[in-house]
A and B are shown apart, each in its own frame.
Chain A
Amino acid sequence: MRHIISVLMENEPGALSRVVGLFSQRGYNIESLTVAATEDPTLSRMTVTTKGDDTVIEQITKQLNKLIDVVKLVDLTEGAHIERELILIKIKATGAQRAEVKRTSDIFRGQIVDVTPSMYTVQLTGSSDKLDAFIEAIGTQAILEVVRSGVSGIARGERVLSI
């Protein structure tokens, strides 16, 4: 099953490489990874999406917790949560295709953020599923370039991950 693990860690050089190293060293998979400092500059917030059965996910969270740099973590998928990913996508847009791309992007609530006579660059946020669906709707033929941010997530309601 897919899990979204959110990690608060020391904003120190080397901390990220320890986390990434842990995943490769122990054969865990990383589907996406995002990381940036929080409102407290001494802390970074990292979101990892990974896949594995219960045994693997239990080990991932325990091994992450064992890293000295990791302050706290939560498996967001254990409760209600919001997940968002950003995509920037360059799409061929000529002739009849041009209107079609615009229509599809409107349906997905995308924004056209750059234009040339032959292409659109569309920005879109949502769950990874939604972004996948958009890519499929556009079709690989028309796609020139795709950049995805990886997933960021936060728990619903009052629950917070903080120290």
Chain B
Amino acid sequence: MEQLSGGEMIMRALRDEGVKLVFGYPGGAVLHIYDAFYRQSDVEHILVRHEQAGVHAADGYARATGEVGVALVTSGPGATNAITGIATAYMDSIPLVVISGNVATHLIGSDAFQETDMIGCSRPIVKHSFLVRSIEEIPEIMKKAFHIARTGRPGPVVVDVPKDMTAPAEKRPFVYPETVKLRSYTPAMKGHAGQVRKAVELLLDAKRPVIYAGGGVILGDASDELRAISRHLGYPVTNTLMGLGAYPGTDPQFIGMLGMHGFYEANQAMHQADVIFAVGARFDDRVTNNPKKFCPNARIIHIDIDPASIQKTVRHIEVPLVGPVKAVLADMIDVLKQTPDTSDKEALASWWATINGWRDQHGLWTGDRYQRGEKIMPQDVIKTLYEVTAGDAFICSDVGQHQMFAAQYYKYDHPRRWINSGGLGTMGFGLPAAMGVQLAHPGATVAVVTGEGSIQMCIEELSTCTQYNMPIKIINLNNAALGMVKQWQDMQYGGRYAASTYQDSLPDFVKLAEAYGHVGMKVTNPADLKASMEAAFALKDRLVFMDIVVDPDEHVYPMHIATGSMKDMLLSKTERT
């Protein structure tokens, strides 16, 4: 049998799992692993500039491909720097394996140099974790880690490796297991047939249906099935922030994003619906507004791979369906095809008429719902981005107003094109995530939509982009403020801008980009916006940082009125529903 060191075993496990890229940062506790890395050529290493970014990049890679993202960090500060990235992936159910070094086994617990209890630190934000206790168990732990990360409801798995477990001289037999034995972990592979039939019956019974599709559809690769069932039924579809792209944004049946900054027509439709079909969505508080007032007349069907997501916040679920969305939707389509179509076509037509009325009245894509002044409007930046990229880019967002504008005004026709931190809302996610996306799809157009606040949280990655020639386009919606914070301060704190502005301390982003070897552009005049953006995207092999000075006073609307129902919204600074 082949004899390998622990470090070599890790590399071989990565190869056998089909891993092509690892994002990492070296340090004492992982030097044996790095040496094993150096001595192989199956897996490529990307040296980031901060471990947080390394995990975000692995996360972006996973979101864009559906494969497990891998990050490698050292013990102590390397491990704790990875925590924000792990939490971000955990909240959005992204499959990751994060390998962290630790001090040698005999030093654990002694407050040794760069010792951190990574298993303890990461416990609440991982799907599972492993501490390697013997070299022999490394192959099995790696196999389990990948299996757990990618199956069921995906999530990050930490493998913490004490330094002595990877010592080059300590060779042990290596066989990579073909299958995993985990008696305590058996995610559902199919939905319950009886529940599937009930769900179909209820759907056909609907007079005012809404299909509410979330990130689970993307994670579960069920977009095709969602399209098929939605088109078969002819029902309106709304996507969550995490679900954008699950159903095509340009499809006439798409009624926009729902939730806190969701479309008027989507939120109204949800509130008035008599049947809601929730598919891979988890009734997040940013969707439901006050769960007690949530869709009072709706009978609800809920498909989720995670039983704990069912009836967690909204309790009146009539047909719970635990299983992978792809398999469950496929079964539902089969049943639908065998069932006589008893749906009420007249009711549906009048429901569509109502929805189209809402669309015409306040829809974001049926008219300009904001006033233009001298300055560039952030919404127009996103609309221009959509035009210039012909709707065909990967859009990686940071967190703030710009994120909501990017969600509202770019139409996502395909899954895995809209990459954002929805659950944790991590500023700094955008650029490193875009690196993962760009490396996964080297020829694709990848843009970061960011703000001058967020971009400064992982801006060091501009250097990584230089090292690996990543031609990312950074669209910085520069409103000279932590805009989303400022918006809340306008609305709830009498315009007292506590710590949300920078008092002229912002860097010159053009020079900064140039310092890293990239192209910088500054745009201030609305008339120049489109041409500059075209010029930026024409530079196919360069990273371009577009610093776009936008109206600093703009707010994101619609916006849920806190403690209200889904239909209670502010539509502008002066109008409400």
A interface list, Cβ under 8 A from B: 9-10, 13-14, 17-18, 21, 25, 55, 58-59, 62-63, 65-66, 68-71, 163
Contact = CB atoms under 8 A, between A and B. Distances in A.
B307 A65 contact: yes
Interface stretch (B81-89, B178-186, B385-393, B538-546): B178-186
Given A70-B184, A163-B183, A62 B308 contact: yes
A14 B117 CA distance: 12
B308 A63 contact: yes
Contacts of B128: 68
Nearest to B120: A17
B184 A62 contact: no
A18 B123 contact: yes
Nearest to B311: A58
Interface of chain A: mostly helix, strand, loop or mixed: helix
Interface string B483-496: 00000000000000
Contact of A21 (B123, B182, B308, B311): B123
Given A65-B307, A70-B184, 6 more contacts: A9-B184, A59-B312, A65-B308, A68-B127, A71-B183, A71-B184
B123 A68 contact: no
Given A68-B185, A69-B184, A71-B183, A17 B308 contact: no
A141 to B, nearest CB: 42
Nearest to B313: A55
A62 B123 CA distance: 18
B350 to A, nearest CB: 36
B306 interface: yes
A108 B184 CA distance: 41
A27 to B, nearest CB: 12
B315 A66 contact: no
Interface in B88-147: 119-120, 123-124, 127-129, 131, 133
B119 A14 contact: yes
B260 interface: no
15 contacts: A10-B184, A13-B133, A14-B129, A17-B120, A18-B123, A55-B315, A58-B311, A59-B312, A62-B307, A66-B306, A66-B308, A68-B128, A68-B184, A70-B184, A71-B183
A111 B50 CA distance: 63
A17 to B, nearest CB: 7
7 nearest A-B pairs in the assembled complex, by CB-CB distance: A62-B308, A71-B184, A68-B128, A25-B124, A21-B123, A68-B185, A62-B307
A38 to B, nearest CB: 14
Nearest to A22: B124
B148 interface: yes
Interface in B137-188: 148, 182-185
Contact of B131 (A14, A55, A66): A14
Contacts of A68: 127-128, 148, 182, 184-185
B123 A17 contact: yes
Contacts of A14: 119, 129, 131
A112 to B, nearest CB: 41
Nearest to A9: B184
A13 B131 contact: yes
Contact of B308 (A59, A70, A163): A59
Nearest to B124: A25
Contacts of A25: 124
Interface centre among B129, B183, B306 (most CB of A within 10 A): B183
Contacts of B306: 66
A80 B332 CA distance: 39
A58 to B, nearest CB: 7
B522 to A, nearest CB: 45
Contacts of A10: 184
Nearest to B127: A68
Nearest to B315: A55
B226 to A, nearest CB: 25
Contacts of B311: 55, 58
Nearest to B184: A71
A9 B182 CA distance: 12
Nearest to B152: A66
A61 to B, nearest CB: 9
Contacts of A62: 307-308
Contacts of B123: 17-18, 21
A59 B308 CA distance: 6
A13 B129 CA distance: 11
B143 to A, nearest CB: 14
B126 to A, nearest CB: 10
Contacts of A65: 307-308
Nearest to A60: B308
Contacts of A63: 308
Nearest to A10: B184
Contacts of B124: 21, 25
